[in-house]
Amino acid sequence: MNNQDVIIRQSGPVGHITLNRPQALHALNTMMCAQISNALSDWKINNEVKLIVIDHAEGTRGFCAGGDIKPMAESGQGDGVDVRVFFETEYRMNVQLFEYPKPIVTFIDGITMGGGVGLSVHGSHSIATENTVFAMPETGIGLFPDVGGGWFLPRLGGGLGQWLGLTGARLKGADVAAAGIATHYVEEKVLAAVKDMVMLGDIETLEAMEWEAYGSFVKQLETITKCFDKETVEDVFAALEEDGSEWALKQLSIMKTKCPFSLKVTLRQMIEGEKLASFRETMLMEFRLANRAVRRADFAEGVRAVVIDKDNAPQWNPATLADVDEIELDEMFAPLKSGDLTFI
């Protein structure tokens, strides 16, 4: 079951998945998602396997930087077939992780963004270290925080998820656990011992561990709630302007560089996602959004600016919030004419 990009094996009572694509910071492609999904299916009915461990190859930087966006943009500007298959495969994997009947322990010791968040946040246990860097930076490339962002981000409460999703803000180390995104925080110096314990099938000790994780964002929580727990992006902008603090104006400045259409999609995604009763419904919504978002010129422009030319100067169309077509925004959330995703 192994290939160059992901290593899958059983070690005693543990099903072990290791991301092994260091040249791309372990970014996910369709084959990797399919192999992980197949392994999860096999281990679900294997009575010898008591828990799943997901990590990245030792000595490599980052846990998972997200999805492989350059091929996604190329497909989106073409017939869109390959990128649709990618989303189908990745989102089914996300649902498997969310609904899995056995413990899943993920070690996010490094960069964890986009698809890497989807691979780690939906399992039963995720362990952050001082090396962890969490972000959902999709509004900066003309997308939105998918892989279940519409489910877990608004449920962080107090506008915290809205702040993370709209600005693409990075949380580092203990911040990730303090925000409720990781379930545990351990220092790197004891990480190997913790992993050895888990690899023996012992999660009871993990669950009993005491740990402290102070969030550096805590001092801004009142401002975050006041400014980001809003119904429209325009209201967020106005609240930040009115607050006038150095921190608030910095967030406003950051958001003004993001894709206006993506900002509107993202806030509505979280408002709608918070109302939905099931994770599957959230992933269906995001499948509709993703298939449409990758066909828009903004995504191709975002990938050009960030990945290809690296000038970090995207020219968004529309260029302002005021120019966003509300009818087009509504259409993003409508059922797909080409058929919606099913999770059978």
Active site residues: 67, 115, 138, 146
Query: Which token pair is 265?
Result: 């999609």
The angle formed by the CA atoms of residues 174, 23 and 18, to the nearest 5 degrees, is 60
Torsion of CA 8, 102, 83, 31, to 10 degrees: 10
Helix (H) or strand (E) holding 115: helix 115-120
User: In this structure, which amino acid lies at residue 162?
Assistant: Q
Looking up tokens 């102070």 gives: 214
| DSSP three-state, residue 63 | coil
Nearest Cα to Cα of residue 93 among 166, 8, 191: 8
Q: What is the CA radius of gyration of the chain?
A: 19
In contact, 260 and 323? CB cutoff 8 Å: yes
In contact, 36 and 9? CB cutoff 8 Å: no
Tell me the sheet residues that pair with 51: 14
The number of helix segments (H) and strand segments (E) in the chain equals: 16, 9
**Sign of the CA dihedral with 294 first, then 82, 36, and 47 last:** positive
Looking up tokens 């913790």 gives: 194
Tell me the C-alpha distance between 209 and 203, whole Å: 10
Centroid of chain to Cα 46: 29
Query: Which token pair is 178?
Result: 């303090």
Q: What is the DSSP letter of 229?
A: S
Distances from the Cα of 246 to the Cα of 50, 170, 251, angstroms: 50, 18, 9
